[in-house]
């Protein structure tokens, strides 16, 4: 299996999802080969919950990792693969650009697209 999918699957095990019971794992591959992972972390207010993708991006940035070539998101064991939510698409776009995005299920079924394909006409710093 793709080691980035394996990393996302392992991160998913750490998900804190007592409210939705929907566990998500994400893994970023930096251009220097480093892999940074994240899981979703829910909270009793619900609104303060964070998605796995944003946890991974913010972890990476805080560790000085800034340039990514691939993103993997692993969610449920469903045939239909789950794409990142709108908020995560924005953050992924701003920090990963038109990187390769792989969505995978627990069995390893995967589909790869570019971020630009799922997030057309993005708002970013070029408009500021």
Active site amino acids: 53
Smallest distance, Å, CB 93 to ligand THU?
A: 13
DSSP letter for 33, please. S
Of 2 and 41, which has the nearer Cβ to ligand THU?
41
Interaction between residue 22 and ligand THU (CB under 6 A): yes
Interface with ligand THU (CB under 6 A), residue from 1, 61, 85, 107: 85
- C-alpha–C-alpha distance, residues 62 and 42, integer Å: 20
Measured over the CA atoms of residue 36, residue 12, residue 104 and residue 81, the dihedral's sign is negative
Closer to ligand THU by Cβ: residue 31 or 117: 117
Q: Does 51 bind ligand THU (CB under 6 A)?
A: yes
Question: Cα separation of 29 and 35, whole Å?
Answer: 5
Question: Binder to ligand THU among 9, 52, 56, 65 (CB under 6 A)?
Answer: 52
- Site for ligand THU contains 20 (CB under 6 A): yes
Task: Report the candidate in 105, 50, 45, 100 with the shortest Cα–Cα distance to residue 75.
Answer: 105
Question: Which 8-state DSSP code applies to residue 18?
Answer: T
Minimum distance, C-beta of residue 77 to ligand THU, in the bound complex (Å): 14
Tokens for 126?
């070029």
- Secondary structure E strands in 16-99: 25-30, 35-39, 68-74
**Binding interface with ligand THU (CB under 6 A):** 17, 20, 22, 24, 40, 42, 49, 51-53, 84-85, 88
């Amino acid at each position: 299996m793709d080691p980035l999918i394996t990393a996302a699957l392992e991160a998913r095990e750490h998900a804190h999802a007592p409210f939705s019971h929907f566990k998500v794992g994400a893994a970023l591959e930096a251009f220097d080969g480093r892999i940074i992972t994240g899981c979703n972390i829910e909270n009793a207010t619900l609104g303060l919950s964070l998605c796995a993708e944003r946890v991974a991006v913010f972890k990476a940035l805080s560790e000085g990792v800034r340039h990514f070539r691939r993103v993997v998101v692993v969610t449920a064991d469903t045939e239909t693969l789950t794409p990142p939510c709108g908020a995560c698409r924005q953050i992924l776009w701003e920090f990963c650009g038109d990187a390769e995005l792989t969505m995978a299920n627990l069995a390893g079924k995967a589909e790869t697209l570019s971020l630009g394909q799922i997030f057309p006409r993005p708002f970013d710093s070029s408009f500021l």
